[in-house]
Structure 1
Amino acid sequence: MSAGSEIGYIGHFRRLWLYAFVLLALLFLVVPIAIVIPMSFSDSRFLDFPPQSWSLRWYRQYLTSPEWIQATWVSLRMALMACLIATPLGVLAAYAINSRYSSALRRIHVILLLPLMVPHIIIAIGLFFLLARLNLVTSLTALIAANAMMTLPFVITTTLAGLRNFDMSQEMVARSLGYNRFWAFMLVTLPQIKGSVMAGALFSFIMSLDEVIVALFISGGTNTTLTKIMFTALRDEIDPTIAAISSILIALSLFAGLLAAIASRGR
């Protein structure tokens, strides 16, 4: 080890406080989530931790309830359609922003990221009054459009990260050989940033599936989302079925996050 590197090196013992802080932060984030999983296997009529007895009662309750299952299908359809809309739009926006980051595109970039900056309650109120004028409140179309808009920034951000690690001269070479911009992008650029695009699509899907604030305002009737019913059930009574559903959503989110991480590494 050189003298310069010895001066800059900090031993593990001197960094114990940092390791302890990181461990405490991880525990603070993970423990409240981990507690939900054993609670979902309790046989008690109320949320109970630690469980006094173990059972799959609440998973059966969820899988045999028409109301819960219908809401689940609504949420899955909505999340999938929002993902299919947000992903190509986000890729197009990221490509335009990366190609020429002018002052006009800089302003557009900020506007496209507003759903990440503005509190969701403000967005929900605005969407409610807009959709009420269009007679679209409680429609599946409104839910899909709203969630596509709110998850668009995730696709833009991940795709931009991929494009900024990609040598755009490769696309220019393809265009110089006779391909137009569309085919040069599809055959040269997209295959090399597909990991970033897939990660953005997965984030879009899982964020749409988990969204609750906007759903409280604009979903209803046969188009009530799973998260809205969960919130209503918590408000009216503490139903342990929510713990079972939450455990399933946690597992799905972790799986999607793992896929996104694998996709990002493969970009």
Structure 2
Amino acid sequence: MKSMEKSLRRSSPSVGRILLAVAAFLIAAWMIVPTLVIIPLSFSSSEASFVFPPPGWSLALYENLSGGAWRDAALNSIKIAAVVTVLTTILGTAAALGLDRSKFPGKGLVTGSLFAPLIVPTSILAIGIYAVFLNWKLNGTFIGFVLAHSVVALPMVLVSVSSSLRVFDRNQENAAASLGASPLTTFMSVTLPQIRSGVVTGAVLAFLASFDEVVISLFLASPRLQTLPVLMFSSMRRELDPTVAAAAVVVFALAAIAIPIVALIQTRNHHVR
């Protein structure tokens, strides 16, 4: 009896892990499989409406995506997201360092304000940004899109870099300073290499946040400047253009590539520690 109890105790953790893995797989399948339907739809030969299963196979929808308004919207999204990534990575890293290294009255209020876009509904943010940008004449401009998307993307960088700073050993900075290194040299040679995973992760998340943003972009878009998510939303509302399936696959593929990169960075950083 004792030997049986011991064997059951030994096997129970492995059984629990298997059940947990099965549950995680089922939940992931339930969330992802319906989304994967867009992949065969994007290769459909029907350019008039959505038909599933597709009556035939063609690259016509991707050809539509590579030209005209679809191409311009995709390029706009890439350009805006690239600028937002650079801007928010610099500002978010600086803000995370400032909050981590300093104490001042109202620090909690400042911290809460920086993280507010993660909590406040996007529709409320969009209305507020639209009202302010209307007075500043930034609606429908490239700079307006960059500033508005930065509001949403900045907390992504701040969260990621702040997490890296929590496990950072500041004694190494003190050692570098005691040896005569300037603050900039200390940051570039000591601090940045150790929080690099958090910075890169934040940059990837910031790019995705900007590229996928649709609610705020709807308020700021104009006939001269609109992003890919805005064009996708408009297409679904007005004419139901099947090209939106190809655009959705591109957005989905971008996220599918970015998420494993973030996971790999975090895993490597965990092993290094």
Aligned match of 1:196: 198
Aligned-pair Cα RMSD in Å? 2.2
Q: Gaps (5+ residues) in structure 1?
A: none
TM-score for both structures, normalised by structure 1? 0.91
Aligned match of 2:55: 52
Q: Which one-letter code corresponds to 1:259 in the other structure?
A: I
Aligned match of 1:114: 116
Aligned match of 1:179: 181
Q: CA deviation at 1:164?
A: 1.5
Q: CA deviation at 1:9?
A: 7.4
Aligned match of 1:264: 266
1:69 and 1:265 mapped to 2: Cα distance?
36
Quick one: which of 57, 76, 80 aligns to 1:78? 80
Give aligned pairs, total.
263
1:60 and 1:235 mapped to 2: Cα distance?
22
Q: CA deviation at 1:12?
A: 3.9
Where 2:12 maps in the other structure, the secondary structure is coil
1:19 and 1:266 mapped to 2: Cα distance?
22
1:140 and 1:127 mapped to 2: Cα distance?
14
Aligned match of 1:38: 40
1:33 and 1:173 mapped to 2: Cα distance?
52
Cα offsets for 1:163-197 (capped at 9, x unmatched): 12221111111111112323211211101211210
> Are the aligned partners of 2:42 and 2:242 in contact in 1 as well (CA < 8 Å)?
yes
Q: CA deviation at 1:53?
A: 1.5
> Are the aligned partners of 1:43 and 1:54 in contact in 2 as well (CA < 8 Å)?
yes
Where 1:10 maps in the other structure, the secondary structure is helix
Q: Which one-letter code corresponds to 2:138 in the other structure?
A: L
Aligned match of 1:145: 147
Q: Gaps (5+ residues) in structure 2?
A: none
> Are the aligned partners of 1:195 and 1:265 in contact in 2 as well (CA < 8 Å)?
no
Q: CA deviation at 1:246?
A: 0.8
Q: CA deviation at 1:247?
A: 0.5
Q: Which one-letter code corresponds to 2:130 in the other structure?
A: F
* Structure 2 CA distance for partners of 1:28 and 1:232, relative to 1, 3 Å: same
> Are the aligned partners of 1:87 and 1:197 in contact in 2 as well (CA < 8 Å)?
yes
Where 1:221 maps in the other structure, the secondary structure is coil
TM-score for both structures, normalised by structure 2? 0.89
Quick one: which of 223, 237, 240 aligns to 1:238? 240
Aligned match of 2:164: 162
Residue identity (%):
32
Aligned match of 1:28: 30
